[in-house]
Amino acid sequence: MEDFKVSVKDFIEKTNVSIKHVRSLVKSKAYKVYYSGTGKCIITTSKNVEEISFKEKDDPEKVTLHRPLCEFKNRLPDIKYEKLIKKLKYNSDICEKIRNAKSEAKRELEQANQKAEEEGKKPQKITDILIYKKACSLVGGQCIQYGSRLENNFLLQKNLQK
């Protein structure tokens, strides 16, 4: 435990820290810092599954879905914090649930298109990205995201008490 405290202290001292005194300047994300056991810290944040963004140029299966949910797999041996390992493995379960929900998502989108046609509205073009977005909304919940921020850029929020 003492090694963890020293490691976090050294990590924060060596980073560029931006302290915001006004809450409105800080986004609503909360970051957690974990010690990896290799002398590095892992910065994580919680994200809603529905907020996973899919881009037209990226393959929704291999790039967009795998990156936020399963990219951690190569770092699992370095992680010593059991609770974090459990949360990260849960991401793999969410990824599998999204894959399994694709057929239901496609069916719901087709039903919505049929209903739109009956109402005289223009149907929506069903693409892979739209199917994955719908599958994410069907699965719901939260996942743990890490690695999207550089380790030398870290934001601290200082709460001022009056």
CA atoms within 13 A on the CB side of 64: 21
Please check whether residue 55 is in contact with residue 64, taking contact to mean a CB–CB distance below 8 angstroms.
yes
3-state secondary structure of 73: helix
Give CA–CA dist 82/89, Å, rounded: 11
3-state secondary structure of 150: coil
Which range is most confident: 45-49, 73-77, 101-105? 101-105
3-state secondary structure of 123: coil
Amino acid at 25: L
Give CA–CA dist 38/86, Å, rounded: 19
Of 6 and 138, which is predicted with more confidence?
138
Give residue-wise pLDDT tens across range 66-102: 666 666 666 666 666 777 778 777 888 888 898 899 9
pTM for the full predicted model: 0.66
Which range is most confident: 8-22, 116-130, 145-159? 116-130
Check pLDDT > 60 for residue 118.
yes
User: Residue 69: in which H helix or E strand, if any?
Assistant: helix 66-70
Give CA–CA dist 85/77, Å, rounded: 9
Q: Could you tell me if residue 143 is inside a domain?
A: yes
Please check whether residue 35 is in contact with residue 81, taking contact to mean a CB–CB distance below 8 angstroms.
yes
Q: Concatenate the DSSP letters of all residues of 86-105 into one string.
A: HHHHHHHHHHHHHHHHHHHH
Give residue 85's domain range.
2-157
Structure tokens at 30: 């909360």
Looking at the 3D structure of the chain, how many domains does it have? 1
Q: Could you tell me if residue 162 is inside a domain?
A: no
